[in-house]
Structures are given as structure tokens and as C-alpha cells.
Structure 1
Amino acid sequence: MKKRFKYKTLDEMRWEAITLGIDIPFSDDFGVFKRPVDLGSETISNRFVDQPMEGNDAQIDGTPGPLTLRRYRRLAEGGAGIIWVEAIAISREVRGNEKQLMLINETIGAFKSFVAEIKDVSLKANGFEPYVVAQLTHPGRFGKNRKILFHDRFLDEKYGITEDFPIMSDEELENLKYDYLKAAKLAERAGFDAVDIKACHRYLLSELLAAHTRGGKYGGSYENRTRLLKDIIKLVREEVEIDITVRLNLSDFIPYPYGWGSNEEGSLDFTEPKRLLKELEELGVKIINVTASTPYLKPHINRPYDEMGKYNPPEHPITGAMRLLNLAKLAKENLSKTLVVASGFTWFRQFAPYVAAGALKNNWCDFVGFGRMTFAYPDYPKDILFKGSLDPKRVCITCNKCAELKAAGESCGCVIRDGEVYLPIYKKMEESQKK
């Protein structure tokens, strides 16, 4: 269902939502964004989160490259309380591609400088240091050294996975705990405030949650499928003085027995995700960053958009954006201490502050996360906080060109709003695809 964003006023958007049977939580009380959050370990200055968006622009050795540094300087100047740094490979062997960040002994010096600069730039520009999270990741079936955890009928078919494709052993999974621990120790040394034990979008720990058809220690039962994620968190908590967060799929929106958050009757079922939320809280996880599905199969679910090439989204983008907000609400209702980051605001463009304020005011979440908007409009927090509005000529238009660049292995950013840097890269990509 291709729908272009056409709203001139907030009332026009509100009316269309009503015709779709959707109640968007609007509010014009932007004071909610300025309320600090005391984590015990640190105080976060405002409610904005720059979500982890991979730029495919690291150096060959895994250190931040010139475009990486440029992006994060702009985010630091932009004024978000939390800067959630994009996927960082936990070892050389599991690096997703040669342009992905990698935190190992050889790169620790560069990461110390990187984190220090983020904090210093924000302190000078905004008067505070942001809370900086390192997203530690294993790409699983999407990495360059591809292995799967089990055969998934939907993803196998799309990516040509054959019956003889290598499957990771229980021993390999067991050993990964210590790679995560090592990376967490390095993150602490580098000055990060927290690590994200990433369990979303069907990367390794996310896929493991859905391993109903896998045998052994890490498959089949709920206890087995959640074991590695929880064991990693326990290990890091015991040995590293750093906060722990998790970016978590609450559902893959993939049918059972290949999905997480679905049941044998073919319906969504949040029984297990709600149980995991409570167990993560008991393990001391400070923040849950809520998301869903995978961009490799159903991109409209984790990033609602207007149009995207040949892929025709099967729903109105308002439906997709509100699904993400309702998932955050579900998480918030099932947690008492752990804080929740909501996603799904970028599609609302210049009206996003009203939706974000409504979500905070109604206690659907504790923080509001913006992803693609950070590429297009890195200082969106500052404009909301001090101007009380977003410039319609600067907002992300969800054209998906940044994702096209990433899919092609190119350095990615906003082709429309940051065209001086990224339009030439995009044009070069288009030319190469024509050949």
C-alpha cells in the first residue's frame, strides 16, 4: 500500500489516523523532553535517543573512519541525551563486512578518542555529556562468514540457503559468551557508558530466540532459546563495571516455528517476550530499546516508509509506526524499573515531536528514539528543545535511499538532506548497478 506523506497540518494527520481506527497519542507539552533521567550510575539530560544506524564507513581495521567521525560529531552537536552507537563487531571473525566498526585490542585507542570526542563536542555545544552506548553485535546469518542457527523457511528461501549450509554448534555458541565479555571490557576502557547486548532484527542473538526447531542446549524450549542472551548479560554484569542495555525484538513477525513472538495457531503471541522482559529486568538491564522484525524480510515493520523501490508495503505507514509505539507501550507495562526506548517516530516528519511528547506523557516509554532522522537532521533534538518545532525542509522523508546504500555495501547517510556528501555515492552506486 504505497502512501505518500501529504499532511499540511497536524489535524490532517490526526483525521487520517482516525479513519484508520488508530488513536495517535499527540501532545504539545514539549517540556517532557527536558526532564532528566537518573539511572543511578549517571543522569541522562533529556529524553532523546539517537538510534544505532550503521554507516558502513569504518576503516579497514575496524576503527571509525572520516565519515563515521563526521556523523557522530554532528550527532553530538545535535543534543540527544543518549547516543546509541551503531553495531560494533565483537571480534575480527564475526565482522559483518569490511566497513563495520570492530572493537578489539588493536582498535581500543581509536575508540577511546572516538568516545571522548563525542562527549567533548556535546559538552561544548550543549553543556552536558551524552550517555553513550556501544551496540555489541554478532551478525549471525548476515555476516561475511555466514553460518545459521537453524533452517528458516522464509529467510532460507530469500537468501538461497541450502540444506547443507553450515550450522553453528553449541560449542561455538558457548564460546561466544567470552567474545562478548571481552568486547564489554574494551567498551568500558574506551569510555562507553553502557553496552547493548543486541538481540534484534534476526542477527545472531535475535535469531536464537526463535530457534524452536534447533536441538541441543540452545534450541527448542524457551529456557534454551533465551539461555545465551541471559548468560552473556550475567557474565558482563559480574565482571565489568558498565551499564547493560538490550535492543530487543518483541516479535519477528515471522510465523511459528521460525519466529519469536508467535504461536502454533499462527498468531502473534507475546507470552514469551513479556517473560523475557521481566527476566532481563531481574538481571539488572538498565534500558530496553524496543523494535521488531528484520529489514531483510519485512522492512516496513521496523522502518515504516512511503515508498521503497519494488517492495510495496502492505499497510499504511501510520499503522506500522503505531505498531512500534504499541510494542514500546507493551514493554513499559511489563517493566517496573528497566527503562524503555520507543521507536517509530521518524515517519511522522515535522509532526514527530507531538507524537513523541504524547508517548512520553502517556507513559508508553521513557525515551523517544529516532533512527533515519539522525542521518537527515542530526540536530533535531536541539530544534525541538529550543525552537519547539522541526523544519519540514530538513526532516527525513523516508525515501529509503540510505538503506539502499547500506544494502549495496556503500557508505550511507541522507542522500536528500546531506546530498553534498551522499548524493555522489548514491549516483555512483546506481551507475554500477546498471552495468
Structure 2
Amino acid sequence: MEKSRRKFLNDAVKISAGTSLLTLLPADLLAAKKKISANDKVRIGLIGCKGQGWSNMNAHFKIPEIECVALCDVDKSVLDQRTADAEKIQGKKPKQYDDYRKLLDNKDIDAVIIGTPDHWHALQMIHACEAGKDVFVEKPVANTIEECQLMVAAAKRYKKVVQVGQWQRSGYHFDNAIKYVQSGKLGQIRLVKTWAYQGWMKSVPVVPDSDPPPGVDYNMWLGPAPKRRFNKNRFHFTFRWFWDYAGGLMTDWGVHLIDIALAGMNASVPRSVVALGGKFAYPDDAAETPDTLQAVYEFDKFSMIWEHAVGIDGGNYGRNHGIAFIGNNGTLVVDRGGWEILPEVNNDDRKNIVYKMEKLPFQPQGGGYLDEHAKDFINCIKTRGTPKCSIEIGAHVATVCQMGNIAFKTGRRVFWDYTKNEFVADSKANELMKSNYQNGWKLPKV
């Protein structure tokens, strides 16, 4: 069973990995695309064309009525490569943009996919809503709690469909696990554990600052972030480990896993948070965010623990990531490979074990969840329905993850004021909620 679980897990992890591989559409899908009338097409503009942004675009290419009409990136080499890739996939070359604001001015675009670094998400999503576009925005939705609140307000004000790229929400095995948690069969759930142990993420070696690569508009890449010399560690994938642009593993994987915990428990934001950790594995490398962290969240009737570690895979229950709902009758453990029940024993006779609840075999994942997430977004564009991971959901979990980072930065337990939507009598924590846009960029007023 463990071998089977690991196979499903390895297959599932591939779903989430940003890839530069070209999508090869089957002949029947290409034929179906040609039959779609111009009036029935949904025209997409992609902002941020590398990594996960391109993976999201690939998932949308598989939908017959989708046409990619525009691409935007600050790296000309990436932009040219993706333009060529898109032309091969759909037989039509999209327009190129180096400034997302110009792309948003294109009246032919119905919706945008935002796959830029985290510090850009709020500005681009809000501006897209203002421009009348529906939005598929990558997770975490924002880099501050203030941005989260404004993004929710913008989607509501402009009445736009916003799908957040937390594709686990479109995974039926996650949905089944949540339903089981809410069935009451586990008994009183007193503790929820969430974790990400990422052995493949290694140290980030210190390298000197340099000039940006040819064709990169570095000033545009920085946008509202503080002005700094170019350093390749802060560019492309590894931007995640620098506070100017992101929140480390706490927000990168936390929004995926803590989201399932919050959904299972129907939980709001916590009463309080305390977090401990640091750069214990690689104290002298270039990364700023902690490579090791534990955060304890206090909710009304249960506690939640988040923990992460870079460079090792030895997570809870033999899994390098997951969510465990620990109840009086048993524990449900779910990860991207599937879920299972670990029942509590009801007697002391180990020769004739009696369990407090049923023992279910491993329930595997079904795969293709990013594709399903894209389909849900397009269906909601047509019906004006609410997507499976709305901006409210994405902002909720991003806020909870930001609270963990804020507790870590302050070095103390922080308490939440539900009436004011801020921390209780804590000026430093409340300051860390705010955005500090620079270089002439302004946080929009909604």
C-alpha cells in the first residue's frame, strides 16, 4: 500500500510543478477548437509566462473555446519562447506585451491569468478587475494582509469572477476527505497538523549582484518592491525566499495545505498565533525566509500546527507534506497522493484489536486537478457563478499564513481583533499587515 501511495503522490506532485514543456493537444481537441465560433471563444491574456503561469495556460489550452490572444512578460527571452509555444499549440500567434497595463487595455481580452511573483498579484488582479477582465490569479493571492482585503473588495465592487490557483480545491479526493472530516465520524477533532518538508529544495548559494540578463526589464520586475541591485537569487523561482516578494514556504505551500485544514474545520481566522524557527539548515545561504518553522494557531475549539523544513523529507506520518485531522476516534491524513483513516484502538488486547471507528483503505487521488480547476474557471465566466477557489477563499488562507509569518517576525504570540480586522494592541504586527509600495507605484483604493 505504501508503494502505491507514493506512486500516486509522485504523480500528483507533477501536477503542481511549473513546467516549460510544450502542451501537445490531441487531434480531436484541435479539431474541436476550430469549430468554436468567434462569439463562443474565451480570449485569455497571460501575465507572467514562466513556471506556474505557463502551467496554468497549458491547462486552459485544453479547453476547446480557449484562445490565448496575448502574453506579457518582463523577460524578452521568456516572452519569445512562450509566443512560439502558443503558436505551435493553437496555430495562432498571440500579441506580445512588456507592460501588463497595456495588455489590460486590449478590449479583445475576456480574462487574464496572473502568474507573476507574489508581490505583483494584488496590483495586477485589482487593475484587471477595473479593466473589466475576469481573473485566474496564482497563489498566494497577496504578500500582505492589507492586499488580501483590497483584492476581495475589488472583485466584489467590479463583479468579476476570480479563481485562485489553489487547484487542490478542484481535487475530488480532497473534497471527499473534507466531507469525511465534517461527517463527525472522527469524533471531536482537537488538533489539526499541516506540514511541508521539502527535501528537493536545497540551499541558495550566495552570489554577487550583477547586471540583469539581456532583455529583462528589471525595474518593471521590481515594480512596487524596494529598489535593489539585480541578483539572480531574487529572480524567477527563488524569489520565494525573499521577504520583498514573498513569504517563503509558509505562504508558498502553506496556502495549499492550510486551506484544506480551514475548509475541513469550517474555521475563520485564529484567535492567536505564535511561531518559532529560523535558518537552521542553511544559516549562511542567501535566502531570507526561515528554512525551518513551526507555527501554532489557536482556534475556538481546536489548535492547528504548521511546520515546514527545507532540505529534508521526514514529515509526519511518513509523508513529506500533508494535513492530519486528529479526532477522538481516529485520524484522517490527506496529501496530494490520497487519504486514509488511522483509527484509535478501543481496547488493550493487541491480539483482538477493536477500533473506535472503521479503518478505510488508502483512497487515491484522481489526477488532472489543475485541468479541472481551469475548467471550473471558464464555466464560472460563462455562468457568472462562484469558482471553487474564490478570492474570498484565497484571501482567507493567505491571511492566516501571513499571520504565521508576522508572529515569526515579531517573535511573540499575536492576538487577532475580529471587530477591527487587525492585531490587538500590537503596533509592530499591525505595521507588518500593511503594504509599502515604492518606485512610484500606489496601492489602489477600492
Q: Which has the higher helix share?
A: 1
Q: Which has the higher strand share?
A: 2
Q: Which TM-score applies when normalising by structure 2?
A: 0.28
Q: Which TM-score applies when normalising by structure 1?
A: 0.28
